[in-house]
Amino acid sequence: MSRVVLIQHKTYHGVDNSYITDTIANYPGVFSGVACIEAEAERPDEEMSRLKKLGIRGFRIRPGEGGAERWADSDGMKTMWAHAAETGLAICPLIDPEYIPQVAEMCELFPETPVVVDHFARIGIDGEMREADLAALAGLAAHKQVYVKISAYYALGKKQPPYTDLIPMIARMYEAYGAERLMWASDCPYQLSEPNNYGDSVALITDRIDFFSADEKDWVLRKTAEKVYFT
């Protein structure tokens, strides 16, 4: 059975996650979800627990959420991270490279919290993969509950197939995390903006990278996400 992780886009739906939770309910065992909630709420942990019962397994966060410039200064954000550690839910930061130190700071405070960094922390969004940024993201691997989505090929580097310019960045993350802590993503619907497409996105992993074994490709394309979002 194919399994799919649905991600709430706060830009479009705010913190109304019902489209995702209804879909999870209508197709048991097929879908899991990453939701958005208000970290500034009085009890964000209660909303996390409610949504977990509906099939949500992760929560997307962005810089500045929680009512403070730094997540470590936000009581609501710290409540979210602590509750995620207790319940096995994932915190999923959608960030640019300059916010990687904030993720590291929270990982120090909450080492048991599962963390999935979206889209290489958007390193290369301006076309450049800077060494300092790569080192910072690779350094998060010291926290054993951190995972990285090696995704958003449509938005990083040259931003077009065959995406081979991203292979050195993937190799760097592979060296730091291993395949079992990396995950591919479909980036639906953005990966369908011309000239980008799903065929080339999948082929980058299956055909154009020579350092992944067959089993490691399976981890990157499927098993890592299943481990985080379907257990």
The CATH classification number of 4-229 equals 3.20.20.140
Q: What would the mean pLDDT of 176-190 be, rounded to a whole number?
A: 96
Percent of the chain with pLDDT over 90: 94
Q: What would the mean pLDDT of 115-129 be, rounded to a whole number?
A: 97
Q: In what order do the strands lie in the sheet with 182-183?
A: 4-7, 31-35, 56-61, 90-93, 115-117, 146-149, 182-183
Q: Is the pLDDT of residue 1 over 70?
A: no
Q: What is the pLDDT of residues 96-112, one digit of tens each?
A: 999 999 999 999 999 99
Percent of the chain with pLDDT over 70: 100
Cβ pair 93, 117 in contact under 8 A? yes
Whether the pTM exceeds 0.95: the reply is yes
Calculate the alpha carbon distances from 153 to 55, 59, 105 in Å.
28, 22, 27
Hey, where are the domains in the chain? 4-229
Q: What is the pLDDT of residues 19-39, one digit of tens each?
A: 999 999 999 999 999 999 999
